[in-house]
Amino acid sequence: MKSDYIEKISQRLRKKLPGKLAHDKMMITPQIPFPKLNFDKKGIPASVLILLFPKKDELHFFLTKRTNTVNHHKGQIALPGGVVEKNESLKDAALRETYEEIGINKEKIQLIGSLSSFYIPVSGFEMFPFIGWAKTEPVTSIHDQEVDRIFSASIKEFMLDETQKVKKDTLRGIPVTIPYYDLGGEIVWGATSMILSEFKLILKEIL
């Protein structure tokens, strides 16, 4: 049954993706101004991976909590991933970073497709999200000083309407409304929530 579901996701990823429509659902409002930054420019390429796997008869995916010592997105919830190295493909970067951050070897991962890329003004990265599948629940280990902890969220939990919330905050001295996902008791916002928003729209189509 799980493999059938994975095949449906893979087939859907080959078609036109929601892209900006999905990303906008998780955008902070009002948008914080970034002087001299072009929102349509190409940034430093970075790849991330949504790794699906079976756990207790449900599909799950991994998230990480970043340490407070990293250069970008301190203490935030993220997908495994990072900057693409010289002469490295986007796919290979996603697999390498997954191994370096949470200890899962690429031989255990089957890539089934990718989501829409987008530029992140606050960090200057251009994000390339991939989706992978592991037939059995992988054993994880923290290999990277950037990762504080690893946890997983179930697709069942993720698809519930009540996991999507908003909060009021202040960024750069500006009062803002921040959409986020409440997953595993953690607040998932920013670029990670934008990636997950597109994934959620796709899952809704095939459920």
The string of pLDDT tens digits covering residues 189-200 is 999 999 999 999
Sign of the four-CA dihedral 155, 150, 80, 187: positive
Domain count along the chain: 1
Does residue 79 fall inside a structural domain?
yes
Does residue 184 fall inside a structural domain?
no
Whether the per-residue pLDDT at 38 is higher than 80: the answer is no
Does residue 31 fall inside a structural domain?
no
Whether the per-residue pLDDT at 158 is higher than 90: the answer is yes
Query: Which residue in 8, 28, 22 sits closest to 115, CA to CA?
Result: 22
Does residue 165 fall inside a structural domain?
no
Query: H/E element holding 176?
Result: strand 174-183
Q: DSSP letter at 138?
A: P
Which structural domain, as residue segments, surrounds residue 105? 2-23+41-159+191-206
Does residue 119 fall inside a structural domain?
yes
What CA–CA distance (Å, rounded) separates 5 from 11?
A: 10
Whether the per-residue pLDDT at 105 is higher than 70: the answer is yes
Tens-place pLDDT, residues 109-135: 999 999 999 998 878 899 999 999 999
Does residue 145 fall inside a structural domain?
yes
CATH code of the domain containing 45: 3.90.79.10
Does residue 98 fall inside a structural domain?
yes
pLDDT band at 37 (very low <50, low <70, confident <90, very high): very low
pLDDT band at 69 (very low <50, low <70, confident <90, very high): low
Does residue 102 fall inside a structural domain?
yes
- What value does the mean pLDDT of the chain take? 90
